[in-house]
Amino acid sequence: MDDPADGRCEPVPTARPCWTRRAPTPRPSAARDVAERTVRLHGLRDRLEAATDEATLRRYVDGASSEEVLAYLRDVGRYRLKVAAKRLAFLEDPLSRLYVFAYEGGESLVAAWVETAEAPDQVGRFGRLLHEQVTPGRLRAESH
């Protein structure tokens, strides 16, 4: 057997185990790019998400059929068939259908509550959501 210490063979470099390899360091501006793209697309995303809300109303208030709602999600919401079908299944599930409105309404309520605070207090208000039980009524009262 060759002994690396006697100089008759070259040591073979060993690969570091996968758990010791470091992930590539992202560019410093990568997070900024993602944040800017998110802000830029936010309004467009909201308009598309509104199609799901409207589809839910069409299904349960107007009595539209599943096929009509699926067509609405595809035509107006511009969702691919597979995505539209998944959204339809979600809003037809009795345990999930309320989520569409509770989530959207909750997001609007929290955003208004955070945005009505002065800039330095906005971070603190967001922190309160993580540490306190803040009710919708309290959010509304503090938003005025």
What pLDDT score does 28 carry?
A: 63
What pLDDT score does 46 carry?
A: 78
Q: Which of 80, 78, 71, 77 is nearest to 52 (CA)?
A: 77
What are φ and ψ of residue 28, in 5° steps? -60, -30
What pLDDT score does 4 carry?
A: 47
Do residues 73 and 84 lie in contact, with contact meaning Cβ atoms separated by under 8 Å?
yes
Exposed / middle / buried, residue 72 (Cβ in 10 Å: 0-12, 13-18, 19+): buried
In this prediction, residues 119-123 reach a mean pLDDT of: 88
Q: Which residues contact 3 (CB under 8 A, 6 or more apart)?
A: 9
% of the chain at pLDDT higher than 90: 32
In this prediction, residues 77-84 reach a mean pLDDT of: 94
